[in-house]
């Protein structure tokens, strides 16, 4: 695996494989790789001949400067892990390679997809930062397929919308959430949790799991499911920033779970803001 830092090096590295008809997959990441990222890289290897991993902590998608400053970084470790998972190329640009002087364009998905849930709490600008950088990365790499995690369910929906609306030639694939054995969704931010906070962080999974049990037990009433999920967080002394049951395609609120519904949760645990979600399936399917 090679590491490249500029767009011209990246394009040069992809020229020959492309001429030889090899397909390319892109996995955009902000680094500090964990099993969730590695499952995306493995899926990328399945989906295409070459896997490109981008490593860029995108400043424009952080609404909180402290979160940006504290974001964990370790490029050497990331390079080893990406290589082990089968990545062919690591693209690790500096901020001024991505945002050169004079940069002033944004790609925005507007409406409920970026204004609900995360958008309501972090601001829609978070997603405008995501869609701008992802569309740039797609233009830099020109992949046949790009892979994203269900862990960031709303982000995946927003990116799919952007790809459809802008007629992007890249196929967007979404990969299931990878969890720790006790259910905590893997996240680069988890390393910032103290021992006690790590225990408290289980509140999010407890909420999702309780809701799944309710639905499998025949409860289809959103208010009652949400109350049970909220109650499940209480023993952990964690308050949800939001806990919402919405349509998995357009994020409109759901009152009855008579078809698949997205249960999404966000909560602050110590210094870290965590998110998680699951799809509730009314007919006994296993939610992820």
Report the nearest approach of ligand AMP to the CB of residue 121 (Å). 17
Q: Is 121 a catalytic residue?
A: no
Contacts of 211 (CB under 8 A, 6+ apart): 225, 226, 228, 229, 245, 263, 278, 280
Question: Mutual orientation of helices 35-47 and 75-85 as an angle, nearest 10°?
Answer: 40
Q: How far apart are CA 165 and CA 172, in angstroms?
A: 13
**Using the rule CB under 6 A, which residue among 187, 200, 210, 277 binds ligand AMP?**
187
Q: Which is nearer to ligand AMP, 37 or 214 (CB)?
A: 37
Provide the CA 61 distance to its chain's centre, in angstroms. 12
**Strand pairing report for 261-269 and 272-280:** antiparallel
Scanning residues 248 to 267, which ones bind ligand AMP (CB under 6 A)? none
* 161, 115 contact by CB (below 8 A): no
Considering only residues 132, 135, 188, 278, which one is a binding residue for ligand AMP as defined by CB under 6 A? 188
206 binds ligand AMP (CB under 6 A): no
Q: Which is nearer to ligand AMP, 174 or 222 (CB)?
A: 174
Span 123-152, contacts to ligand AMP by CB under 6 A: 148-149, 151-152
Pick the closer one to ligand AMP by CB: 37 or 160.
37
**What does each C-alpha distance from 122 to 72, 126, 240, 282 come to in angstroms?**
20, 6, 14, 30
Distance in angstroms (rounded) separating the CA atoms of residues 270 and 272? 6
**Distance between CA atoms of residues 203 and 232, nearest Å:** 7
Nearest residue (CB) to ligand AMP, 43 versus 280: 43
The two tokens of residue 206 are: 């407890």
- Nearest approach, Cβ of 221 to ligand AMP (angstroms)? 30
Between CA 228 and CA 230, with CA 229 as vertex, the angle to 5 degrees is: 90
Binding mask 25-64 for ligand AMP (x = CB under 6 A): ----xx-----xx-xx------------------------
Nearer to ligand AMP, 40 or 254 (CB): 40
β-strand pairing of 89-91 with 171-175: unpaired
Q: Work out how close the CB of 262 gets to ligand AMP at its nearest, in angstroms, rounded to a whole number.
A: 14
- 98/257 with CB nearer ligand AMP: 98
Catalytic residue among 37, 126, 128, 214: 37
- At closest approach, how far in Å is the CB of 284 from ligand AMP? 24
Among 41, 50, 90, 186, the residue binding ligand AMP under the rule CB under 6 A is: 186
Handedness of CA 233, 239, 245, 251 (dihedral sign): negative
Within 10 angstroms of residue 70's Cβ, the number of other Cβ atoms is 12
Q: Which residues are catalytic?
A: 37
Give the interface with ligand AMP as residue ranges (CB under 6 A): 29-30, 36-37, 39-40, 148-149, 151-152, 175, 177-178, 185-188
């Amino acid at each position: 695996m090679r590491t490249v830092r500029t767009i011209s090096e990246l394009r040069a590295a992809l020229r020959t494989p492309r001429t030889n008809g090899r397909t390319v997959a892109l996995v955009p990441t902000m680094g500090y790789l964990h099993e969730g990222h590695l499952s995306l890289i493995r899926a990328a290897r399945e989906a295409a001949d070459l896997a490109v991993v981008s490593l860029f902590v995108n400043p424009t998608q952080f609404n909180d400067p402290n979160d940006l400053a504290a974001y964990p970084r370790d490029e050497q470790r990331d390079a080893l892990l990406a290589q082990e998972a089968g990545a062919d190329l690591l693209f690790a640009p500096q901020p001024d390679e991505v945002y050169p002087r004079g940069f002033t364009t944004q790609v925005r998905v507007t409406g409920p997809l970026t204004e609900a849930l995360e958008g309501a709490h972090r601001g829609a600008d978070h997603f405008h930062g995501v869609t701008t950088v992802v569309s740039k990365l797609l233009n830099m790499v020109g992949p046949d397929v790009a892979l994203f995690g269900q862990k960031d369910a709303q982000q995946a929906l927003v990116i799919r919308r952007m790809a459809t609306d802008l007629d992007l030639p890249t196929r967007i694939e979404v990969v299931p959430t990878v969890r720790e054995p006790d259910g905590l969704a893997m996240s680069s931010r988890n390393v910032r949790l103290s021992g006690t906070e790590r225990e408290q962080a289980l509140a999010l999974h407890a909420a999702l799991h309780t809701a799944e049990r309710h639905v499998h037990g025949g409860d289809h009433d959103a208010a009652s499911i949400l109350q049970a999920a909220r109650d499940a967080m209480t023993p952990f002394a964690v308050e949800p920033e939001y806990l919402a049951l919405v349509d998995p395609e357009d994020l409109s609120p759901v009152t009855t779970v008579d078809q698949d519904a997205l249960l999404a949760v966000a909560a602050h645990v110590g210094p870290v803001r965590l998110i998680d979600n699951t799809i509730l399936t009314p007919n006994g399917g296993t939610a992820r």
